[in-house]
Amino acid sequence: MRNEIATSGANSENSTAGGAHWNLVEARKIYNLPFNDLLFRAQSVHRAHFDPNAVQMSRLLSIKTGGCAEDCGYCSQSAHYPTGLKASKLMEVERVIAEARRAKEGGATRYCMGAAWRSPKERDMEVIVAMVRGVRSLGMEACMTLGMLSPQQSERLADAGLDYYNHNVDTSERFYSEIITTRTFADRLDTLANVREAGIKVCAGGILGMGETVEDRISMLVTLANLPAAPESVPINMLIPIPGSKLADAAPVDPIDFVRTIALARILMPLSHVRLSAGRTEMSDEMQALCFFAGANSIFVGETLLTADNPGEDHDAALFRRLGLKPMALEQAEMEPAE
């Protein structure tokens, strides 16, 4: 397997574009440090590479909702579960661009577009390409999440100017088949490799609170850190249990464990933007503050994510004021952080 987890070898916090060789033993040791030591280390790594008070802001739009053929146990959009979500067709390009323009006026620098597909069909590619070009023409970064991509589809999106492709590994390789049975962990890594090969930046992370162990979380982060190049963006989601889905009754994550996971992501992937993603509505301001201190430096803004609720802009603005945080400018978000 292309991305098997190294079980030995040196690690490096200064590794730039991946090729790191973190092993599970070392990662576990870091994760289990006394909480204050872990946070101090994560914050030190964070400060060495980023402005500690700047947070990158992205906006997300569902361009095709529901009716998905995949059976991801956490998702409201899977056709396998009676979640009550109404499916919709692929949005028109003009509407997507109008929404992106509004997001830019609201301070977002990156526009993320998601479609509930196993993979895009050839007949949809032209529309998708037009969306990417339209968002780029506004001076924003464009990100998409469309399911599995072939090398050819990846090339086409790269040619259109797509900056990022989101494709989460979700959890550890061991736990993957407990959550999704319609594709494999290896399928995920194949698409990530296709995207990277095409020259598109990678956004890949996972979800906590699906019944996985702490060891699964550590293993997932080691997999991401040890990719040939670490993802530029690492979203860490907290499961919002969806009534009707397979994980409707999942137990909530311990907030301290969540912060520890953010800190470990920051330490294993020092140059990546670590994104506090879905689940912020369930987090207290104090928990979010700890996540920012642990090295999270990216969020989604807006009232909704693909289908889930998100804190409103007023709440985020108030939290940013209380914490002295500021939105990260596009130049900073784009630039390779200094060594």
The binding site for ligand SF4 (CB under 6 A) comprises 68, 70, 72, 75, 77-78, 116, 147
Contacting residues for 325 by C-beta, under 8 A, at least 6 apart: 53, 54, 55, 292, 319
Contacting residues for 157 by C-beta, under 8 A, at least 6 apart: 128, 129, 132, 144, 149, 165, 198, 200
Residue number with CB closer to ligand SF4 (60 or 68): 68
| CB-based contact 266:274 (threshold 8 Å) | yes
Residue number with CB closer to ligand SF4 (207 or 225): 207
Residue number with CB closer to ligand SF4 (33 or 148): 148
Q: What's the min distance (Å) between Cβ of 181 and ligand SF4?
A: 11
**Cα 217 to Cα 196: distance, rounded to the nearest angstrom:** 23
Q: What's the min distance (Å) between Cβ of 132 and ligand SF4?
A: 19
Q: What's the min distance (Å) between Cβ of 100 and ligand SF4?
A: 21
Pick the catalytic residue from 203, 217, 266, 291: 203
- Cα angle, residue 322 at apex, residues 317 and 326 outer, rounded to 5°: 55
Q: What's the min distance (Å) between Cβ of 121 and ligand SF4?
A: 14
Annotated binding site: 68, 72, 75, 112, 143, 203, 275
**What is the β-pairing status of strands 201-203 and 296-301?**
unpaired
Annotated binding site for [4Fe-4S] cluster: 68, 72, 75
Tell me the C-alpha to C-alpha distance, in Å, between residue 57 and each of 29, 34, 62, 65, 297. 32, 31, 17, 23, 9
Residue type, 32: N
Pick the catalytic residue from 75, 110, 266, 291: 75
| CB-based contact 171:207 (threshold 8 Å) | yes
Active site residue 72: yes
Q: Among the residues of 237-334, which ranges form H helices?
A: 255-268, 285-293, 313-323, 330-334
Residue number with CB closer to ligand SF4 (223 or 237): 237
Q: What's the min distance (Å) between Cβ of 182 and ligand SF4?
A: 8
Active site residue 291: no
Pick the catalytic residue from 59, 68, 156, 217: 68
Helix H or strand E segment including 308: none
Residue number with CB closer to ligand SF4 (68 or 263): 68
Annotated binding site for [2Fe-2S] cluster: 112, 143, 203, 275
Residues involved in catalysis: 68, 72, 75, 112, 143, 203, 275
